Amino acid sequence: MTEALHSKMDTSDACDLRFGQVGIACVRVRRVDAAALCEELERRVRSAPQLFSRAAVVLDLSHLLDLPDDGTVDALLEAVRSAGMLPVGLAYGTSATEALAQRMGLPLIAKFRAAYEPAEGGSIAPPAPAPAAAPAPAPVREPIHAAPPAGPALGAQHHEGTVRSGQQVYARDRDLVVTGAIANGAEVIADGSIHVYGGLRGRAMAGAQGDEKARIFVSDFRAELVAIAGHYRVFEQIPKDLEGQAVQCWLDGEKLMIARL
């Protein structure tokens, strides 16, 4: 009882310590060349300064054959900094990476995107666009992948059947077509547009690389969340006029629009 009273009176805790999910970009180093790295990142920061300038990034060295020595890693970190981004840690790797992180005084950040990573790997990964005009920090766990140089157009990626709770489907550099339902707690993500021919009860994120022209089409709308190019809306209550309807979502400037089809 006294304990409870005490804690009630004591409102001056020095801090709250919580775990949360934050969007963070991962720079996967593919060859040890600080100058080239700096140049590449600078190009990306220039192309989307509001997105990448002073963005927190994690350095992923796991795709290098050998772990570089401390001096080289320092140079790589400096390259990231001079490009205008802020390295905040190393991506989780082997025990050698752990030792390296300890020597550098940097935290090790778990390999958070493993679920999306295709076997062939990507190049340097830009972060997903930060949600603009958002009332709260984004709960959106955006895929972090590189947009490769524009190549031949890819057809849409098809997913047959239901996407179950806890599953994620990611269509890289293309549209996604889902012929089944997307359950509560399931996520579908595409760099292009998303078409859902079943019920959408989970989350759909189109334009994950920042394509503001991407759209989401749903034949039975009951979504938890929809996002386009990082602009998102969550639905604690599905608007009555949209629930169960065929809808499309698109971006009008910064505003995410949803209307019945």
Residues 90-129 that bind another protein (CB under 8 A): none
Give me the phi and psi of 77, to 5 degrees please: -60, -40
Q: Tell me which of 92, 108, 185, 246 binds another protein, using CB under 8 A.
A: 185
CA distances from 23 to 13, 80, 140, 147, 169 (A): 27, 18, 8, 17, 18
The span of 48-56, 71-79, 113-121, 159-167 binding another protein (CB under 8 A) equals: 159-167
Residue 183 sits in the site that holds another protein (CB under 8 A) = yes
Q: How many residues bind another protein (CB under 8 A)?
A: 16
Q: Minimum distance from CB of 246 to another protein (Å)?
A: 16
Residue 113 to residue 26: CA distance in whole angstroms: 9
Considering only 53-61, 81-89, 145-153, 162-170, which stretch makes contact with another protein by CB under 8 A? 162-170
Is there binding between residue 198 and another protein (CB under 8 A)?
Answer: yes
Q: CA distances (Å), 82 to each of 25, 38, 124, 216, in order?
A: 16, 7, 16, 37
Euclidean distance between CA atoms 187 and 159, whole angstroms? 12
Cβ atoms of 184 and 203 within 8 Å: the answer is: no
Stretch of 5-13, 126-134, 142-150, 164-172 contacting another protein, by CB under 8 A: 164-172
- 225 sits near another protein (criterion: CB under 8 A): no
Q: From the list 166, 253, 254, 260, which residue makes contact with another protein (rule: CB under 8 A)?
A: 166
Closer residue to another protein, CB minimum distance, 89 or 180? 180
d(CA 194, CA 19): 31
Query: Shortest approach of another protein to residue 218 CB, angstroms?
Result: 15
- Work out whether 164 is an interface residue with another protein (CB under 8 A): yes
47 burial type by CB count under 10 A (0-12 exposed, 13-18 middle, 19+ buried) = exposed
Would strands 203-206 and 187-190 be described as parallel, antiparallel, or unpaired?
parallel
Interface ranges with another protein (CB under 8 A): 161-167, 180-181, 183-186, 198-199, 201
